[in-house]
A and B are shown apart, each in its own frame.
Chain A
Amino acid sequence: MSIDKWIVLIGSVGLIGVIYWFFLGKKEKILKISTDIKITVSGGYSPDSVTVPVGKPVKLTLIRTDPTNCLEEFVIPDLKIKKTLPLNTSVTVTFTVTSPGRYGFHCGMNMYHGQITAR
């Protein structure tokens, strides 16, 4: 096998490792508990992990700046919340979580994810 093929092979193995690390090796950030949260929706959610108190009303403000229609819907299935996010318009959701735990949220096509931790 010629040298270029070896380079491609080894490079590919390395690249696969990098892809794995980049997308799946994310560390979860611990944020302080808040009842007033702002999430920017652009290529996902930032922050994509938020912490809220149990039993207190939480105000979540979302603003979508990314044109992909993948992100136009915002869903928190376990809290039965679904909101359409018009581009560049802030949308507010208020909710109260009644029991501690993790509540995932995602876009309408289930591609981008994030989570709310209630404690």
Chain B
Amino acid sequence: MAKSPLVNQTIPISGMHCASCAATIEKVLKKAPGVISASVNYATEKATVEYDSQITHPQKLSSVINHLGYKALISQSLSETDLQQGAKDAEIANLKKKLIVSSIFAALLLWGSFVTKMNFLIQLLLASIVQFWAGGDFYKTTWASLKNRAANMDTLIALGTTVAYGYSALVAFKIIPGEPYFDTAATIIALIILGKWLEARARGKTSEAIRRLIQLQPKTARVIRGGEDLDVPIDQVRVGDKLRLRPGEKVPVDGIVESGETSIDESMVTGESIPVYKHEQDTVIGATLNTSGSIIIRATQVGSTTMLAQIIKLVEAAQASRAPIQKLVDTISGYFVPAVLMLAVATFAGWYVAAGFLPAMLNTVAVLIIACPCALGLATPTALVVGTGLAAQKGILIKDAQALEIAYKVNHVVFDKTGTLTQGKPVVTDIVGGQKVLQIAASLERNSEHPLAQAIVEAAGKAAVKLLDVTKFVSLTGRGVKGTIGKIEYTLGNPGLFTGIPAEVAKLENQGKTVVMIGTDKKAIGTIAIADTLRQTAAAAIKLLHQQKIETSLITGDNLRTARAIAKTVGIDRFFAQVLPADKEKSIRQLQSEGKIVAMVGDGVNDAPALSAANIGLAMASGTDVAIEAAGITLVNKDLTSIAIALKLSRVTLRTIKSNLFWAFIYNVVLIPAAALGLLNPILAAGAMAFSSVSVVTNSLLLKRTRFE
């Protein structure tokens, strides 16, 4: 075997509290089978292990470490999410515990002050537990924030409840006369923790889609090395490795089928619902499911360059992006808490002067408690995360929040013809002028990469026509080619290059076929018609867009008649014919000058300028490359009906963002002044506050119920 089986691996470890922990781990690791050397650094919290990859692997090593009671954080990309999930679960469990205790104590305090007269000192004891144990995190955060001269919601809660608790404590110790408000302080904390608990649970659900994508990543692969099948961790698969796949197994990485044939279910990655038949030389996508046959594949993309890894990266980036609609929130968020603090002070002063201490205190507490900056902060990101996650599950990758906001306004969709509306594999359908015409045409086109040229060469190959040598070859960009065979100069290209066009050309073009003519010195000697199969979903996709009141256009290099015939077949409203590739963006600009918000659908390679010129570009991904720079939205499922779904999803997501922002603003704008004017009891304020951010998150989660028929 060429590759050395010795591997050097760094394993981050958490849970070490001292240098002797490091020594223990090191000692045990060194004794583990297959380990050549090991050193554990307490300061960096990492173990460096050299081991024989034929005997052991990182998973085994990490279980050795985990057995000792520490946590090995191996293979960051995979376990990072598990780790975060673990931390999240622990946090939710902790909140639940605090919620139960504080609810019971708050209920006892309410009973003790309204029903029976509970001893003030017992009340003090119960309230103190709620205040400093259940509410302890509010103080921790507040203190840390004040050190940075910053503040957040927790600061307001800590301050508000401390005022109520502090006053009550003075009453309990008989320093001042009156009735304590321990029940108020404890109930506020119980309600806020209830809100936090519900919110934490709901927020976990918003990122379900991306978590599911991450969990799709296979963990091991069966590599064929030295004639033997070897199960190795996924991060050890290299480009060029041959991998064996049996029915029912996941494709470990992106690759090409070397031998065998099978059907592969790609729905989990591309959203394509029907299993795809694959044979030799076909591309397979990592994390998809091999359903029927046994195949051997050669790895072409591994690690962070696989399609799934790219999709995850793209979705994560989109979820982190800034939504222009959120600008106002960004601006006010820095002033929100200080402004509420100032308003609370003003409320106290006003009520003190007008009505005395007690109403002043209660209304100040209400102002501090009611303000909910979190609802504002959560309004946009939660909807964005749910919306982009939902899209990704359907094979629609939205680049960023800005793309979403433009897609929401689109009222005109332009389709490129070749490769977008059609399958991009044109075939010769008619030849007028016999074999000789095909022979000359194929000879002229043999070196061209143009899909039409390839169709002609393919047809010649099938008819076993011998190709001739061409000299003085010239390409007439976008129109055709010229070249000399023998001593005669031939021109091949669109009918516009010739005079005296025969009647059959019009007939063929009316059938939606592309016609090329061959001739000498402008005189035609033959005609070849080429047609490209329309995608099955083309007509349905246009119909869906029309149902959404979105207009459609076709853009093509074909002439008027061909374009019209195709537009008619699929039901497209308008068409731009005889557009040279470089002029596609001009057609887009023309539509824009008519006031249309244009989405351009293309293949992302040849159409890049047009995609960029449009208000938003939608690219059909080809192969496993999904990061298409010019596109705001990438369709990995190659299904044209997802255009309508993408646009609809953008609209509902943006609608959710808007309604979230509206309610979050209205909530604060109406209820904060209401509290300042003494219209809100502090406990009611806490109730409203607890449910405001939960309702924003829940509203975002409702996006999952969108129907797309």
Contact = CB atoms under 8 A, between A and B. Distances in A.
Binding between chains A and B: yes
14 contacts: A11-B349, A16-B342, A20-B338, A43-B148, A44-B144, A80-B318, A81-B320, A87-B91, A104-B330, A106-B333, A111-B153, A111-B336, A112-B150, A113-B333
A81 B322 CA distance: 10
Contacts of A108: 377-378, 381
A116 interface: no
B374 A23 contact: no
Interface of B: 14, 83-84, 87, 91, 137, 140-154, 196, 199-200, 316-322, 329-330, 333-338, 341-342, 345-346, 348-349, 352-353, 373-374, 376-378, 381, 400
Interface in A1-43: 1, 5, 8-9, 11-13, 15-16, 19-20, 22-24, 26, 42-43
A45 B338 contact: no
B345 A15 contact: yes
Contacts of A8: 348-349, 352-353
Interface residues of A, number: 48
B16 to A, nearest CB: 12
A19 B146 contact: no
Given A43-B141, A44-B148, A77-B322, A19 B342 contact: yes
Interface in A63-89: 65-71, 75-78, 80-82, 84, 86-87, 89
Given A43-B145, A68-B152, A109-B373, A80 B87 contact: no
Nearest to A16: B342
A110 B377 contact: yes
A52 to B, nearest CB: 18
Contacts of B335: 24
Contact of A82 (B84, B153, B316, B342): B316
B373 A111 contact: yes
Nearest to B322: A77
Contacts of A82: 316, 319-320
Q: Name A's interface SS.
A: mixed
Contacts of A109: 152-153, 373-374, 377-378
Contacts of B322: 77-78
Contacts of B321: 77, 80
Contacts of B378: 108-109
Interface of A: 1, 5, 8-9, 11-13, 15-16, 19-20, 22-24, 26, 42-46, 48, 65-71, 75-78, 80-82, 84, 86-87, 89, 104, 106-113
Nearest to B381: A108
A20 B200 contact: no
Contacts of A112: 145, 148, 150, 152
Contacts of A26: 149
A75 B334 CA distance: 15
Nearest to B378: A109
Contacts of A70: 141, 152-154, 374
A11 to B, nearest CB: 8
B141 A68 contact: yes
Given A80-B320, A109-B374, A43 B146 contact: yes
Given A111-B377, A113-B334, 16 more contacts: A1-B353, A13-B349, A19-B341, A22-B338, A23-B150, A23-B341, A24-B335, A46-B148, A65-B144, A76-B320, A77-B321, A77-B322, A89-B14, A106-B333, A108-B381, A109-B373
B251 to A, nearest CB: 28
Contacts of B319: 82
